[in-house]
Structure 1
Amino acid sequence: MTTTLYLLRRLLQAAIVVFIVTIVVFALLHSLPGGPARGVLGIHATAQQIAQFNRQQGLDKPLPVQYFIYLGQILRGDLGNSFTLNEPVSQLIVQRLPKTLVLTLAQAVLALIIAIPVGMWQARKRNSPADYVITTVSLVLYSTPVFFLGLVLIAVFTQIVPLFPSQAPNGDTLAQVFSDPAGLVLPIVTGAAAMVAVFSRFMRSATLDNLDEDFVRTARAGGASTNAVLVRHVFRNSLTPVVAMLGYYVPVLFGGSLVVEQLFNYPGMGLLFWNAAQSSDFPVLLGCVLVIAVATVCGTLLADILQTLIDPRVKTTRS
């Protein structure tokens, strides 16, 4: 299968998954206690108000017709209105999503910068005392709840050693968020810690697998040093599973951002989702679920594309 056909197939699969996601979100919307009208208008809404709302929103039509109306609204960017903030959900997401993307991308970049060299170094020093120490530290970081790690960092770096503020910068724009870079340090480190543990383990395992390949033995037989073999021959091949893991880690990133943003009062999608859950703002909740689901599909698609660029053998093994 050529690269073009493989990518076209993946695009088709992504479109089908997004279509299924819209059906699931539509079903969730109609599974609210009392229906969407009750969820939006609240428990004190009268039967007359609910009937009027259903007529205005087309909720008195058959379910298939309602779904295509809902799908048309999504394609126009209309995700409904927040009944607690009295703003369009799409506008709220447009305001918050870039901030979450900045936070999660910074966490991922920091994690990869640390995890990739650490994982390769562990593979080179496998079964050494240093390898065991780093493995133990990684397991501790991976098993530590994000909120607990964040609280520890806040206690240490705002009370004992006051280097950073306990709250992330707030503001309606990215410029206002970037105006206080010191406030981003603790949220980024908190979210990146567990990712470092995961990615370093994947990188170590992938490097060890590649070190046993024939091309590595051939390079060593030709007189190449261990460092040269790692950099020239092993590094690129070992990135494939890490890139794949990064794509599938998108929902974990958003899930972690919910905790991190609430903990550090960072005005992103996570905090928006948290506040909506506290106030039972169902349109905001379902809008966030839809956006996160689509971002997950796009993340896995991007990971597959990067894999084919790093290792063209991927498309043949999956065809």
Structure 2
Amino acid sequence: MDTVWYLTRRVLQALVVILLVTVVVFCLLHALPGGPARGILGPQATAQQIAAFNHEQGLDRPLPVQYVHYLGTLLHGDLGTSYTLNEAVSRLITQRLPKTLVLTVLSALVGLLLAVPLGMWQAVRRNRPVDYVVTTLSFVAYSTPVYFLGLLLILLFTQVLNWFPSQAPQGDTLGQVFADPVGLVLPVATGAASMVAVFSRYMRASTLENLSEDYVRTARAGGSGPYAILFRHVFRNSLTPVIAMLGYYVPVLFGGALVVEQLFNYPGMGLLFWSAAQASDYPVLLGCVLVISVATVVGTLLADVVQRVVDPRVKEGRV
């Protein structure tokens, strides 16, 4: 019953946050220079054209009424229409989002598969030369801009070694993306690099903290070997803060995807956002912001749920 109440409360909190996100996006839409009409019709529109557009779209009504209408359109999946591509924003995002999810999920999986054992390895070899070397490389990888790192990988692996193509897989479907797995190597590696640097540090700190706990000393006194202690006891407990951090890392993954997709010409939502920013296509920009914000809230919620399953000791009052 406690778990059900905890999950119900977290879901309700997530819904409230999503509602606040819609308020922020609605305010951003109306904060555009000259209002939505000027942004859509362009700087050459006359006052009469703007007035006619506002009346046609209901933008001359009170803001609370407009917000209720806006919320209703969102619930029906209507995010507006791109005035540069002349397509529904929801359709554009539906086409691009799966490819961005493939890129971000693969980057996250590769990053975690490398970061978790690397962090534990550093903790076991704390204050040894290898720990200092890996720590230095982690700081360098974390401080290196994604765009610069991607350019270095392109220069090394496409120009010098000629191992991988400089362009990510093209196509409108996931099948076309997966048909060229070699083209995904460099984008995934670029997206995973900073994640390895960050999460290996978290895993190292968490492992060191657990190695100093009483239950580890008890296990040693009971005759358990170092590997049994590390993998049977310390590993699971050390994952808890890493899992919690993963949910909050969702916006970073999407932000990195924006740069990676533009750099490797990967046809995902990040490239769509980049192109919309170049063309001042505000409906597409705000639609992407809304989707990424909702994904962040959902990612945080899922991280809390998984953390609760992994560690039932999570307090009910924890947010």
**What is the correspondence of 1:139-178 to structure 2 with a 5 Å cutoff?**
139-178=139-178
Residues 181-216 of structure 1: CA distance to partner in whole angstroms, max 9, x if unpaired? Answer: 111000000010000000000000000111111111
1:101 and 2:106 aligned: no
Count of matched residue pairs: 319
**What is the correspondence of 1:123-138 to structure 2 with a 5 Å cutoff?**
123-138=123-138
Q: Percent identity?
A: 72
Give the equivalent residue in structure 2 for 1:122.
122
C-alpha distance in 2, partners of 1:74/1:13? Answer: 19
Q: Normalised by the size of structure 2, how large is the TM-score? A: 0.98
SS at match of 1:79: coil
Give the equivalent residue in structure 1 for 2:265.
265
SS at match of 1:15: helix
Give the equivalent residue in structure 2 for 1:16.
16
Q: CA deviation at 1:317?
A: 6.0
Contact 1:73 1:79 (C-alpha < 8 Å) held by counterparts:
yes
1:55 and 2:55 aligned: yes
**What is the correspondence of 1:76-95 to structure 2 with a 5 Å cutoff?**
76-95=76-95
What residue identity is the alignment partner of 1:37? A
Structure 1 gap ranges (5+): none
Give the equivalent residue in structure 1 for 2:192.
192
SS at match of 1:315: coil
Give the equivalent residue in structure 2 for 1:32.
32
C-alpha distance in 2, partners of 1:264/1:182? Answer: 13
C-alpha distance in 2, partners of 1:315/1:76? Answer: 37
SS at match of 1:313: coil
What residue identity is the alignment partner of 1:318? R
Give the equivalent residue in structure 1 for 2:280.
280
C-alpha distance in 2, partners of 1:56/1:176? Answer: 41
Structure 2 gap ranges (5+): none
Residues 201-240 of structure 1: CA distance to partner in whole angstroms, max 9, x if unpaired? Answer: 0000000111111111100111111111010000111001
Contact 1:142 1:194 (C-alpha < 8 Å) held by counterparts:
yes
Q: Normalised by the size of structure 1, how large is the TM-score? A: 0.98
User: Hey, which bits of structure 1, 4+ residues long, moved more than 6 A?
Assistant: none
Q: CA deviation at 1:49?
A: 1.9
C-alpha distance in 2, partners of 1:172/1:51? Answer: 38
Give the equivalent residue in structure 2 for 1:313.
313
The RMSD of aligned alpha carbons is 1.0
Q: CA deviation at 1:316?
A: 3.9
